[in-house]
């Protein structure tokens, strides 16, 4: 099993690190993709090394996509490859999990129409305008799509991700 986390400078530290380490605990191989290979800086000072650049990104080897929030999704959604990978993974019914502003990538991919989802309250109207049925809940699961609102929802968010991963085995 292999997971992909897409991020850029300004990611919400806990929303990247918590799922990263929970997946590693489950024995899942995790790649981090960013605009270029090398360190990316979180909003609160943590640094993570991206080992895949957006230019080299493909959905083929991955079973799971994680999209953390913070300011990073505004950068991530500008990458045609990152948008295409999100679209491909949703179309293939692979596990896609977005938290907070991470839903912005899914909005740009045009994959939320008719889906039930949640996000950071500041972009809930954008989520609705993208065709999603917005729910103000800790975690919303709609098939293989998992969404949450904010860092305090991470226990529920990661719980559902781990549940989905275990069901793939």
Compute the distance between CA of residue 73 and CA of residue 86 in angstroms, rounded to an integer: 12
Residue of 101, 115, 124, 149 marked catalytic: 101
Helix ranges (H only) for 9-119 are 13-25, 72-76, 80-91, 103-109
- Active site (annotated) includes residue 44: no
| CA neighbor of 51 nearest in space, from 76, 72, 81, 29 | 29
Q: What share of the chain is helix, strand, coil (3-state, %, to 5)?
A: 40, 25, 30
Compute the distance between CA of residue 169 and CA of residue 167 in angstroms, rounded to an integer: 5
Provide the 3-class DSSP secondary structure of residue 46: coil
Compute the distance between CA of residue 115 and CA of residue 57 in angstroms, rounded to an integer: 25
CA 76 to chain CA mean position, Å: 10
Catalytic residue numbers, as ranges = 101
């Amino acid at each position: 099993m292999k997971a992909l986390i897409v991020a850029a400078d300004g990611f919400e530290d806990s929303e990247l690190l918590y799922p990263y380490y929970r997946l590693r605990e489950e024995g899942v191989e995790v790649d981090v993709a960013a605009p270029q290979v090398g360190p990316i800086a979180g909003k609160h000072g943590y640094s993570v090394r991206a080992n895949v650049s957006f230019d080299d990104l493909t959905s083929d080897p991955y079973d799971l996509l994680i999209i953390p929030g913070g300011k990073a999704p505004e950068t991530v959604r500008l990458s045609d490859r990152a948008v295409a990978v999100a679209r491909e993974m949703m179309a293939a019914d692979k596990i896609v999990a977005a938290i907070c502003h991470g839903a912005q990538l899914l909005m740009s991919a045009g994959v939320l129409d008719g889906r039930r989802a949640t996000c950071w309250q500041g972009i809930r109207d954008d989520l609705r305008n993208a065709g999603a049925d917005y729910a103000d809940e800790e975690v919303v699961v709609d098939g293989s799509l998992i969404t949450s609102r904010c860092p305090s929802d991470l226990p529920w968010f990661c719980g559902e991700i781990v549940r989905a991963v275990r069901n793939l085995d």
